[in-house]
């Protein structure tokens, strides 16, 4: 069987064995269709059926999470953890608490995490998890009770050498604190390295909160440099207004970019003078308010609940909200308005047709598994500090983050050129990540 036929057979089997999990199908399809040249060049990978093994999680956990609200009413949610690959190290990936979270979404995120983590070169495997719980509008006591119930089941599968979760959407320092406290209570161990994203006063890393956004901007810098360009003076638009977006704005502004628009679930705001980051942080992190509040405080800014933030003309677009948010229609509009580079701060925010539009137009496109790897890279650096009982300063940690992002960019470019697709960061990221995992799987035997 030639490489192309093998890949099609593997993908058909994924569809058969994982019905209805469209996001997982999408993530697998993207990776598999980058690997044809690798399997042709390295037939031993095909003989060992590494791809067939890699698309099947090592372990999938799904469990009941019962808890009581402040009125004493009982609620039952569902928790998930997909431990996809430990070939390079302990499973590593965030937990997200969002309504309607389903297994297929967690699997897509965990599968992406395999390659993202491999690209960092920091010895971590791929996993992801979460629950269909919404902490918004809940008291601290309610969130604490939910986190304690969640960890009461999950703790038996965790450990600093086994599985190390972090935060993700709606799981920040507060939630990590509650989760860690319950883990410590249940195990009778102060195992600091079992969770990352901790408070800096009790084992957390400086620059972890900023890392994903900062790292995405560092990756954009590296992409632009391949064409002799830089970020300074460029007009930037972002989706989202959470941690990733806020700190991408912060780093882009620090490097001289003109950031004019961002969004949330209610709409988007455009400020031609440049977004006021201090005001944005106050509104989103302290008041937890909607973006129309920003426009009320800045009369020259305009808020819209119609259309898309991608309707705003820009040189650089950074989708930082959620999966499949940037469609083919958005991509066509961005290209028409002169976009030069797109880098994913979120996981798989661009639909496949949108990616094809960018490729056909010659737009620099950085996929999430490469562009937003700064968050998990800094989580791995937090694990390193915990293991050594060390505390690094902000500048040292950010310096290491910047170096990791440069290395990831170099790996993507090198792999793309070696396998006949110069400037294709999708193929480059997939191939570079796969090669690192595949070699480890070969060395460890049939497990």
What are the binding residues for substrate? 92, 113, 116, 167, 379
- List, by residue number, the catalytic residues: 128
Nearby residues of 103 by Cβ (< 8 Å), 6 or more positions away:
21, 60, 62, 80, 82
Task: Classify residue 306 by its DSSP letter.
Answer: S
Q: What does 171-222 look like in DSSP terms, one character per residue?
A: --HHHHHHHHHHHHHHHT---GGGS-S--GGGTPPTTHHHHHHHHHHHHHHH
Phi/psi at 244 (5° precision):
-60, -50
Answer whether 268's CB lies under 8 Å from 262's CB: yes
Separation between Cα atoms, residue 12 and residue 388, nearest integer Å: 46
Nearby residues of 205 by Cβ (< 8 Å), 6 or more positions away:
196, 378, 379, 381, 382, 385, 392, 397
Answer whether 101's CB lies under 8 Å from 132's CB: yes
Return the bridge partners of 341, or none.
Answer: 316, 364
For the CA atoms of 327, 79, 87, 213, what is the dihedral angle to 10 degrees? 50
Q: Closest Cα partner for 345 from 437, 263, 277, 288?
A: 263
Strands 91-97 and 126-131, bridge-based pairing: parallel
What are the binding residues? 92, 113, 116, 167, 212, 243, 379
- Separation in Å, CA 12 to CA 6, 49, 381, 382: 10, 15, 38, 39
Return the bridge partners of 82, or none.
Answer: 60, 128
Environment class of residue 262 by beta-carbon count within 10 Å: exposed (0-12), middle (13-18) or buried (19+)?
Answer: buried
Separation between Cα atoms, residue 279 and residue 275, nearest integer Å: 8
Nearby residues of 164 by Cβ (< 8 Å), 6 or more positions away:
90, 91, 92, 124, 158, 193, 194, 195, 196, 379, 383
Strands 235-238 and 258-264, bridge-based pairing: parallel
């Amino acid at each position: 069987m030639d490489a192309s036929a093998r890949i099609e057979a593997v993908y058909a089997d994924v569809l058969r064995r994982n019905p209805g999990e469209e996001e997982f199908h999408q993530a697998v399809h993207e990776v598999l269709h980058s690997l044809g040249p690798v399997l042709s060049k390295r037939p031993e990978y095909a003989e060992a059926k590494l791809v067939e093994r890699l698309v099947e999680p090592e372990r999938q956990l799904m469990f009941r999470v019962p808890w009581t609200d402040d009125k004493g009413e009982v609620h039952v949610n569902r928790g998930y953890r997909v431990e996809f690959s430990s070939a390079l190290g302990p499973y590593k990936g965030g937990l997200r608490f969002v309504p309607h979270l389903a297994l297929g979404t967690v699997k897509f995120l965990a599968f992406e995490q395999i390659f993202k983590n491999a690209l960092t070169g920091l010895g971590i495997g791929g996993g992801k998890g979460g629950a269909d719980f919404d902490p918004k509008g809940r008291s601290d006591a309610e969130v604490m009770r939910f986190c304690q119930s969640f960890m009461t089941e999950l703790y038996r599968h965790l450990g600093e050498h086994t599985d190390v979760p972090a935060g993700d959407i709606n799981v920040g320092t507060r939630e990590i604190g509650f989760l860690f406290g319950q883990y410590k209570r249940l195990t009778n161990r102060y195992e600091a390295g079992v969770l990352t994203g901790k408070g800096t006063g009790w084992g957390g890393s400086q620059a972890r909160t900023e890392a994903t956004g900062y790292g995405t901007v560092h990756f954009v810098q590296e992409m632009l440099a391949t064409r002799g360009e830089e970020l300074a003076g460029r007009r930037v638009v972002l989706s989202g207004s959470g941690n990733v977006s806020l700190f991408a704005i912060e780093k882009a502004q620090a490097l001289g970019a003109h950031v004019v628009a961002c969004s949330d679930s209610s709409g988007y705001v455009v400020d031609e003078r440049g977004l006021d980051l201090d005001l944005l942080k106050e509104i989103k992190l302290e008041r937890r308010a909607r973006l129309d509040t920003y426009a009320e405080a800045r009369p020259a800014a305009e808020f819209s609940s119609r259309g898309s933030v991608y309707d705003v003309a820009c040189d650089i677009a950074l989708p930082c909200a959620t999966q499949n948010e940037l469609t083919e229609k958005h991509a066509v509009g961005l290209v028409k308005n002169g976009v030069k580079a797109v880098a994913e701060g979120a996981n798989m925010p661009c639909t496949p047709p949108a990616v094809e539009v960018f490729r056909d137009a010659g737009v620099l496109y950085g996929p999430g598994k490469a562009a937003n790897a700064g968050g998990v890279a800094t989580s791995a650096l937090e694990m390193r500090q915990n293991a050594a009982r060390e505390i690094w300063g902000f500048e040292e940690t950010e310096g290491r983050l910047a170096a990791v992002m440069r290395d990831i960019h170099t790996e993507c470019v090198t792999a793309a050129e070696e396998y006949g697709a110069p400037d294709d960061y999708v193929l480059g990221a997939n191939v570079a990540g796969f090669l690192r995992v595949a070699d480890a799987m070969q060395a460890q035997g049939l497990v």
